[in-house]
Amino acid sequence: MDNLTRRDFLKIFNRLLAATGLAAILSPVVAYFYPPNLEEIPAEPVLVGSAAELPVGASKTVRFGRYPALVIHTAGGLRAFSAVCTHFACVVKWDEAAEQIVCPCHEGYFDATGAVVSGPPPTPLASLAVWQVGDEIYVGSEA
C-alpha cells in the first residue's frame, strides 16, 4: 500500500465507479427477467389496521412478507393487491381522486380491480385476500 500512487488510486476509483454504474444499469434488466416471487408470501395473515383507519376511498400500504401490499376500501368493498408493479417492480399507490392505482415510475395505471388501464405494465396486479374480523382488517394470500 505504501507504493500506491495517485494514478493507481484514480484507476481503482474509476473502476469502482464503472462497476457501480454497470450495476445500476443492469439491475432493472435483471429485475425484468427475474420478477419478485409473489409466492414468497407470509403463511399467516397480516393485520392492516382498524376499520376506522380505512374509510371508503382510503388506502393503506402494509408490509406483507418481503413485499408491500396495497389495501383499498372502494365503494364496492375492501380490495388488496401486491403493491409491486408488474412492469419493473416499483411500488404502486392508490389515487383516491382518480380511483386508480398508479405506478409513478413509468406512468402505469391500474383500475380498482388491479387490471391494467394504461401504461407499460404487462399484467394485472396480483390480488390478495382481504377480510375484516370485528374492527380489524387483515390481508392474506388468496386461497
Among 59, 87, 116, 128, binds ligand FES (CB under 6 A): 87
Among 121, 125, 128, 138, binds ligand FES (CB under 6 A): 121
- Minimum Å gap between C-beta 90 and ligand FES is 4
Q: Is residue 103 at the binding interface for ligand FES, with CB under 6 A as the rule? A: yes
Residue 103 to residue 82: CA distance in whole angstroms: 12
- Minimum Å gap between C-beta 86 and ligand FES is 7
Q: Would you say 71 and 48 are in contact if contact means Cβ atoms under 8 Å apart?
A: yes
CA distances from 67 to 6, 41, 54, 105, 121 (A): 44, 8, 20, 17, 18
Among 38, 51, 62, 90, binds ligand FES (CB under 6 A): 90
- The pattern of x and - marking residues 35 through 74 that bind ligand FES according to CB under 6 A reads ----------------------------------------
